[in-house]
DNA sequence: GTAGTTCATCGGCAAAACCTATGCTTACCC
DNA sequence: GGGTAAGCATAGGTTTTGCCGATGAACTAC
């Protein structure tokens, strides 16, 4: 058997009021309740807490005095815990863990965080970059409570809200024969060597684009790095397929490259927000989602315009 | 309605075990109890704490993770409070508030503290010096839980345990005609001027000694300071009556004086321990009392021999 | 498909907390 | 000194809470 926070509250109230009756009024309970709580604490602690003065209240014993200070500390600590919880639940301040698909994280997160910081300065986002297969697992394991991702093979337990339709662009060397076209068709590319971005889910996605058209690509290289694809393409090792587009036309080694839209209509793919179906969102997550809804499309358009 | 420490215990156990069932075994309660506790916390905090994986346990949400750390802190804090209480009740370590009659405090407390420190090194005594009237009040107000005092007019609510019988000594100037006697009678003194130690209770005590003998003293001076009495007596302003005897024969100004026992049998007065009737002693107080029983007589004898 | 695992819910029961009423002790006042 | 007021403790009865066993629901794994 042990003590409860309520016992401590009645005890400290009695110490403050200097009487059981006074404490009972402070705590809005009956006088016997306070009396019993004090007796209970004296029992479990094995220490006399108060000296009873008949008809004129109580005094703390030396031991009671020390325990009263400790009890007050514990109660304020408990109060802080409640405050923390309330802050997490309702407040728009504190840390918010957000997952994001690693490839486009540097394209969208900085802008989103900037907007969020202006709308909700007290929210501090902790970004977690993962590939498309790790993101649902991160949500399930509670590493983050919301994620920005593509709707590629999302499991049933993930709720997805599409925000932006993302087209496929073809990356070509700057001097490639197709680089000046306004659009290219899959059939134009089938014979060319492909530098494939090979990440979980996205790899299959690109291949299925060809399969739906009854074509099979000619895979020359596979890499999991966005910038590696661009470097290989720029240097003439093949063409690349991308959803994310950089605002400039150079690979990291300075070699120029071109980006041309794919002309065929395809099954659309979307960038959007993913959360667990079953969980209740915190207010911070809701605020983040609202910011994404309002600003994510514009952020991507601005990139395209630039 | 609020949360209890038990709720937090079940919650943190579930976080550690990664499952409700595991937590129920850790806490030796049924699985529904843990389940209900978590649901209750999620309700009062308004935050989802866990992500439920059907058939394979739980994961903390980001918010749950933060609250879990806070809950663990609070629980260890609560555990410390219990430890403190247990230490106060049973342990022989910590602070012990002790009252002592101001006049003889410098005669007995240093020696007592030295013996106590060797027997119970972890007990730290905080001495509180008061006059005989303030001591019972200090006990009642919880300023200290035990006191070393005389049994002079002690109220009914004070329990007194006599340890040493203290005789009255007569202080005389070194060259006084009675200074060489082995003992003096009250009748020898009645006409002499008296330098009276005038503290609450003790003043009346000295006067009643004369009254019982049918005599009335000739009060020349009154002072509340032990050393002031000695100084006045040494310089020839009268004789003094004392229960406490210094180990030397000089007043603070260097003037010599003599100390002679009073010969008459009188109502005895005792030095001993005072506590409130109704309170239960802590183990530290009991240890202090035992130390006093064993060493206080010897300490006073040694003083007399020296 | 079947067995195993795990969490949530339900109904009953026991413990605890609470309240009203009362008793007991002391302080205060005429 | 007796009466009154103040204040804590106890008693009895009611409500609330906590706990358990059983059951249901949802998923995994073979």
Q: What is the pLDDT of residue A152?
A: 87
- Residue B177: other Cβ atoms inside 10 A: 10
Contacts of A2 in chain B (CB under 8 A): 5-6, 82
**What are B41's two structure tokens?**
């916390």
Closest CB from A85, A96, A142 relative to B60:
A142
Q: What is the pLDDT of residue B305?
A: 40
C-alpha angle A276/A159/B19, rounded to 5°?
Answer: 20
Closest nucleotide C1' to the C-alpha of A55: D7
Beta-carbon separation of B71 and A81 below 8 A: yes
Residue range B104-130, pLDDT digits in tens: 888 888 889 999 989 898 898 888 999
Q: What is the pLDDT of residue B302?
A: 59
Residue A55 CB-density burial (10 A; 0-12 exposed, 13-18 middle, 19+ buried): exposed
State how far the Cα of A285 lies from the Cα of A92, in Å rounded to an integer.
9
Q: Is A93 on the interface with B (CB under 8 A)?
A: no
* B306 pLDDT tier (thresholds 50, 70, 90): very low
Q: What is the pLDDT of residue B304?
A: 52
State how far the Cα of B287 lies from the Cα of B263, in Å rounded to an integer.
36
Pair B220, B198: CB distance under 8 Å: no
State how far the Cα of B46 lies from the Cα of A78, in Å rounded to an integer.
16
Closest nucleotide C1' to the C-alpha of B278: C25
**Closest Cα in chain B, distance from residue A267 (Å):** 32
- Residue B291: other Cβ atoms inside 10 A: 19
Pick the closest to residue A124 from A88, A99, A94, A91 (CA basis): A94
The predicted model gives B18-28 an average pLDDT of: 91
Beta-carbon separation of B74 and A71 below 8 A: no
Beta-carbon separation of B282 and A59 below 8 A: no
DSSP assignment string, A289-300: HHHHHHHHHHHH
With H, G, I as helix, E, B as strand and everything else as coil, classify residue B174.
coil
Q: What is the pLDDT of residue A306?
A: 36
**Closest Cα in chain A, distance from residue B298 (Å):** 29
B90: pLDDT strictly greater than 80: no
Distance B19 CA to D28 C1' (A): 16
Pair B236, B220: CB distance under 8 Å: no
Q: Is the CB of A60 under 7 A from strand D?
A: no
| Residues of chain B (205-264) having a beta carbon less than 7 angstroms from strand D | none
Q: What is the pLDDT of residue A88?
A: 76
* Dihedral, CA of residue A43, residue A46, residue A49 and residue A52, to nearest 10: 60
Distance A53 CA to C24 C1' (A): 13
State how far the Cα of A224 lies from the Cα of A133, in Å rounded to an integer.
14
Pair B77, B87: CB distance under 8 Å: no
Angle between helix A62-89 and B31-45 (nearest 10) = 70
Pair B198, B224: CB distance under 8 Å: yes
Predicted TM-score (pTM) of this structure: 0.74
Q: Is the CB of B39 under 7 A from strand D?
A: no
* B1 pLDDT tier (thresholds 50, 70, 90): low
- Specify whether domain B169-261 bears CATH 3.40.190.10: yes
Q: What is the pLDDT of residue A304?
A: 52
Q: By CA distance, what is B77's nearest residue in A?
A: A74
Interface of B with A in 45-74 (CB under 8 A): 45-48, 50-53, 59-67, 70-71, 73-74
**Closest Cα in chain A, distance from residue B289 (Å):** 16
Fold of B94-165+269-305: D-Maltodextrin-Binding Protein; domain 2 (3.40.190)
**CATH 1.10.10.10: which residues of chain B?**
5-89
Distance A29 CA to C24 C1' (A): 22
With H, G, I as helix, E, B as strand and everything else as coil, classify residue A60.
strand
Q: What is the pLDDT of residue B273?
A: 95
| Percent of chain B residues past pLDDT 90, beyond the cut | 33
**CATH 3.40.190.10: which residues of chain B?**
94-165+269-305, 169-261
B34: pLDDT strictly greater than 60: yes
Strand partners, B221: B195
Strand order in the sheet with A239-242: A218-223, A193-197, A239-242, A169-173, A257-261
Kindly report the CATH number that applies to the domain delimited by B5-89: 1.10.10.10
Q: Is B211 on the interface with A (CB under 8 A)?
A: no
DSSP B184: B
Q: What is the pLDDT of residue B83?
A: 84
Sites in chain A below the pLDDT cut of 50: 305-306
Q: Is the CB of A56 under 7 A from strand C?
A: yes
Q: How many residues appear in chain A?
A: 306
DSSP assignment string, A202-225: HHHHHHHHHHHTT---EEEEEES-
Distance B296 CA to C26 C1' (A): 36
Closest CB from B80, B142, B278 relative to A64:
B142
State how far the Cα of A115 lies from the Cα of A118, in Å rounded to an integer.
5
State how far the Cα of B91 lies from the Cα of B282, in Å rounded to an integer.
9
B89: pLDDT strictly greater than 80: no
Distances (CA, A) of B48 to A124, B66, B202, B305: 20, 12, 70, 77
DSSP A143: S
Residue range B209-247, pLDDT digits in tens: 888 888 889 888 888 888 888 888 889 889 999 888 887
Beta-carbon separation of A95 and B66 below 8 A: yes
């Amino acid at each position: 058997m042990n003590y409860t926070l309520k016992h401590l509250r009645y005890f400290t109230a009695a110490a403050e009021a200097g009487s059981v009756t006074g404490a009972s009024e402070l705590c809005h309970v009956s006088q016997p309740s306070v009396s019993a709580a004090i007796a209970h604490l004296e029992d479990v602690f094995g220490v006399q807490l108060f000296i009873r003065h008949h008809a004129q209240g109580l005094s703390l014993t030396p031991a009671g005095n020390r325990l009263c200070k400790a009890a007050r500390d514990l109660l304020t600590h408990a109060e802080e815990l409640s405050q923390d919880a309330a802050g997490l639940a309702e407040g728009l301040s504190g840390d918010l863990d957000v997952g994001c698909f690693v490839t486009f994280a540097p394209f969208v997160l900085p802008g989103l965080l900037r907007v969020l910081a202006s709308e909700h300065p007290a929210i501090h986002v902790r970004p977690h970059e993962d590939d498309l297969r790790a993101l649902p697992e991160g949500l399930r394991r509670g590493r983050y409570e919301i994620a920005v991702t593509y709707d590629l093979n999302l499991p049933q337990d993930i709720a997805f809200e599409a925000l932006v339709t993302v087209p496929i662009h073809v990356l070509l060397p700057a001097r490639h024969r197709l680089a000046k076209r306004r659009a290219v068709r899959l059939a134009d590319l089938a014979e060319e060597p492909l530098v494939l971005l090979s990440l979980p889910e996205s790899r299959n996605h690109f291949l299925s684009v060809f399969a739906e058209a009854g074509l099979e690509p000619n895979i020359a290289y596979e890499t999991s790095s966005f910038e590696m694809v661009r470097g290989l393409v720029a240097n003439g090792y093949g063409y690349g397929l991308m959803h994310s587009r950089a605002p400039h036309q150079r690979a990291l080694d300075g070699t120029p490259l071109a980006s041309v839209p794919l002309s065929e209509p395809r099954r659309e793919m979307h960038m959007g927000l993913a959360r667990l179906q079953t969980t209740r969102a915190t207010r911070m997550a809701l605020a983040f989602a609202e910011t994404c809804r309002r600003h994510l499309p514009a952020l991507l358009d601005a990139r395209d315009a630039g």
